[in-house]
Every structure is written in structure tokens, then in C-alpha cells.
Amino acid sequence: MLDALSLLQQRHSAPSRQLGEPAPDESTLRTLLEAAIRVPDHGKLVPFRLIALRGGAKRTFGAWLAERAITRNPDLPESKREKERLRYTFAPLVMVVVARIDHDSGIPEIEQKLCAGNVAYNILMGAYAMGFGAQWLTGWAAYDQEVAHLLHLAKNESVIGFVHIGTPQGDIPDRDRPALDDLLSEWQR
């Protein structure tokens, strides 16, 4: 296992198309998710929940999404139709991270969504630390009301991301990273 700083310095997403079996077993997944939900949570609202997609259910969900993509855009080129058809066939596990917004709490919605986003990021970090690969994807499906209905989301819930998890099926090169000096400034009055 990597130490925390090395983990941050080395973590990178593994494209979902390059993820295969095995996924974390039940015990490992439970350990990963128990760690992932340890996030900053203003007001202790727990403004998130998780949905696991795997096996036949994952493939059924993916097939339905492909049909929905074509319904949304009948002019979708064949190459994009194929991409939609295959999207959920690679990684053996997809965790849907859902934000649950408590509009009566007084805690700003953005803070609640960031809390849920931290869960998704912790899943990425934890999967990498455990030797798995993961990719956090959103795309049109994260914002589609029919998809929300299919996932049985309540009116106060929305998809933060679909985190695809599996074992990298080859070397995953890192991408270029921004230079800190281009991003850091010092505030002065």
C-alpha cells in the first residue's frame, strides 16, 4: 500500500475501456467504501448514497442507457452509438455516487454536492491505493431525468458520477499535469 503523499503524487485515472476483471471482492469493496465515505460533511447530513452496478444488472443498465442515448439523439452517428453500447461492458464494477440534498438544512447545496464529490474522489483514491484502476465519469447520463428515474432517485437526488472500477488490463500512462506555478498566487491586500 502506498503512503498518503505518494498516493496523491501518483494517482491517475484508468480509462474505463482498459478495466477488466477482477473487481474488488466483497470484503475489499466494503473496506474501500467504508474509507470513501469518511468525508468532510458540514452539518453531518450524509448528503450522499451509493448504488453498485455489476454483472447482469450492469449490462442491462448499460444497454438501456445506449437505447436512451439514441432516443435522445436519433441522429447519433454509428461510432457514438457503438461507444454508448459498449460503455458499461468493460469495468466489472460501476459505483453510482448520488448526492442527496437536504434543502431544509441551511447547509448550502454546493457544500452538500462537494461532500458527495469527495466520496467519488475517495473511491478513486482508495481503488488506486488497493491496486485497482478507476475512472470517474459523468456525461449526459448523470443529468438525464429518465436515468434518474431508472436509478430510483428521489427529487432531491442527483448523480455525481459513475465510478468504473476494475483491474487495469495493461500499463496506463499518466497524462501531463498542470504546473503549480501557473496556478498558485499569493494574496496581498
Question: Which residue ranges make up the annotated binding site for FMN?
Answer: 11-13, 38, 42, 136-138
Binding-site residues sit at: 11-13, 38, 42, 136-138
Q: Is 152 left (phi over 0), alpha (psi -120 to 50) or beta?
A: left
Q: How far is CA 84 from CA 69, 72, 164, in A?
A: 7, 12, 15
d(CA 175, CA 51): 29
